[in-house]
Structure 1
Amino acid sequence: MDRLIVYPANEEQMLALQAVLETMKIPFEQKEAAHPGHVIDGLIKSSKEVEEGKSEPYTGIRDMLDPK
């Protein structure tokens, strides 16, 4: 059987989904997201920048703090 993965945007949506699933006697498990949404968004943005050749190699913290 196929599975669904849903991403409720807020607590209200989460509670509504849980109520529907419980009413329909559909088993479910709740897991905490591995990473917050803003972290995932940053990773996606960074990956796109790499694909577009807009990235620079990391050479060390000193170069980042004292650019030439």
Structure 2
Amino acid sequence: MKYREAQAEFQKVFDHQQTVSVPKLKPLFESLNISVKKPLGDSNKEISYLKGEISKLKKKNKLLREGKGTF
């Protein structure tokens, strides 16, 4: 299946709100170069690092708000 054909098929599905079977989705995704596989690498480490940074910022924000309230 070619890229344009896959685009047209997806547009048809979206326009008519049709359901698509998994076996039919696979060639559509391959034609559009869409991957549903888990990304390789340390994405979990990056996510946990970012969650930790967000947590630190929330704590810092809370301390700053509490400090301003006591003045």
Q: What is the TM-score when the length of structure 2 is the normalising length?
A: 0.30
Higher helix share goes to which structure? 2
- The normalised TM-score by structure 1 is 0.31
Comparing both chains, which one has the higher relative contact order based on Cα–Cα distances under 8 Å and sequence gaps of 6 or more?
2
